[in-house]
Amino acid sequence: MKAPVISSWFGRGQGEAPPDIESAALRSDRFRLEREGDWKRLEAILVRMEKGGLRRIADDDLIALPALYRTAASSLSVARETSLDAATLAYLEALVQRAWFQVYGPRTGFVRWLRDFLFGGWSRAVRELWLDICIALFVMVAGTVVGWLLVAQDEAWFYRLFPANPGDVRAPGATREQLLKSLGHEEGAAGLAGFAAQLFSNNSGVCILAFALGFAFGIPSLLLLVHNMALLGALLWLFNGQGLVVELAAWLSVHGTTELFGILLSGAAGLHIGRAMAFPGKRPVLDAAALAGRRSAVVMVGVVIMMVVAALLEAFPRQLVEDTGSRFLIGGSLLAFWLAYFILYRPAPRAAEAAA
């Protein structure tokens, strides 16, 4: 057997043919030789699965996979009790572990997951966070009121919230005409598309930050919400001074209903993780955090999609549609759409998902 066999020079998969079973002197080696073929077949299937997914594998092999996995697993438990061959044991442990990753691996690829996510998974995850959403909504409303009151008390707060920005007319003392003009549409669509992409990148960054900060027991997420909404409160106060609140609301509502909803959801997602870590209930902290983290991650993917929509709305319709009524119509119908999608859209989960 020591002489080099030509076939072993080619390919990694097929080495030399296994020796005759009867030729082995030890009982445990005969046990191994009897089962070696199955192990090698399993290994070959695993290599192909790891390389290119399920498509390249013959149906026969795919059907045989669970059985081969169980064969290898039972071989391992028998070998542990009867064999002292360390190399074989190490090989079997590695083989069973690799097979386990494939047999019990992620059940769906990314595309399939995305489809399930859009048709049911997303709205279900949002509904699971209802308590956090209520808290975050309360905090956001409170933040707006605080912003308004702060600026109403002392105008200096306005400059603290909006650091001086030369050329921006939106400051205390601005005339009604100036403010109205800042809500008007700009000339044509040139430059708006790039503007949208930049807005999207920026806004989704803020949202991911609000989510990720939930890790510190959710408090930074809430602070971020308060800060963002205080800006809105200050802006509302400014326009209220000139009796333009309705126009401002219309201007904001075009994209704001989507964007603020997205910020609300990401703050709630962050809060959800923070709450699970602070009050894990009967579960260990790590398990509670992991459970909450997975649930919130689903919501966050949705938030990124909402930010795409918001950025497109902010760049195009908001700047191109000038009429207050139409602006309210666009913003209001989007809000209605999101609410209906999250609250009313409840498809039954697929059987496989329900079992997971």
Partner 1 sequence: MNARREDRRARTLLTPEGLALPITLAPRASRAGALIIDVMIIVFSLVAIPLLLALIVDGLFDDSPLARANVDDRVAEFLGILAILFAFFTWYGYFLVQELGPRGATLGKRMVGIRIAARGGARLTPEAVIARNLLRDIEIFYPLITLFVLLVVARNEAPIGILGWVMTGWFLLFLLFPFFNRDSLRAGDIVAGTWVVERPRTRLAKVLSVEGATKGASDVTGVRYAFGEAELSIYGEKELQTLERMLRESPPEALAAVHETICRKIGWDPGAGDERAFLEAYYAQLRNRLEADLRFGKRKADKFA
Residues 281-300 that bind partner 1 (CB under 8 A): 286-287, 289-298, 300
- State the minimum distance, in angstroms, from the CB of residue 296 to partner 1: 7
Interacting residues with partner 1 between 9 and 48 (CB under 8 A): 18-20, 23-29, 32-33, 36, 39-40, 43
* Length of the chain in terms of residues written: 356
The residue whose two tokens read 């009050």 is 279
Residues 203 and 260: their CA atoms lie apart, in Å, by 10
Nearer to partner 1, 85 or 155 (CB): 85
The answer to the question of residue 234 lying near partner 1 (CB under 8 A) is no
Residues 125 and 269: their CA atoms lie apart, in Å, by 10
Measured between alpha carbons, how far is residue 173 from residues 241, 248, 277 in Å?
9, 17, 47
Residues 226 and 230: their CA atoms lie apart, in Å, by 6
- State the minimum distance, in angstroms, from the CB of residue 228 to partner 1: 17
Residues 88 and 74: their CA atoms lie apart, in Å, by 14
Among 6, 17, 86, 348, binds partner 1 (CB under 8 A): 86
Helix (H, G, I), strand (E, B) or coil at 107: coil
Residues 116 and 349: their CA atoms lie apart, in Å, by 9
The answer to the question of residue 118 lying near partner 1 (CB under 8 A) is no
- Residue 149 is classified by DSSP as H
The answer to the question of residue 50 lying near partner 1 (CB under 8 A) is yes
Residues 21 and 72: their CA atoms lie apart, in Å, by 18
The answer to the question of residue 65 lying near partner 1 (CB under 8 A) is no
Among 236, 273, 306, 330, binds partner 1 (CB under 8 A): 273
Stretch that binds partner 1, among 77-85, 139-147, 162-170, 331-339 (CB under 8 A): 77-85
The answer to the question of residue 178 lying near partner 1 (CB under 8 A) is no
The answer to the question of residue 75 lying near partner 1 (CB under 8 A) is no
The residue whose two tokens read 């306005």 is 158
Q: Which two tokens stand for residue 107?
A: 């059940």
Nearer to partner 1, 295 or 318 (CB): 295
- State the minimum distance, in angstroms, from the CB of residue 177 to partner 1: 31
Nearer to partner 1, 49 or 271 (CB): 49
Interacting residues with partner 1 between 193 and 212 (CB under 8 A): 193-194, 196-198, 200-201, 204, 208-209, 211-212
The answer to the question of residue 8 lying near partner 1 (CB under 8 A) is no
Among 38, 61, 64, 73, binds partner 1 (CB under 8 A): 73
Residues 267 and 345: their CA atoms lie apart, in Å, by 22
Q: Which two tokens stand for residue 114?
A: 């995305």
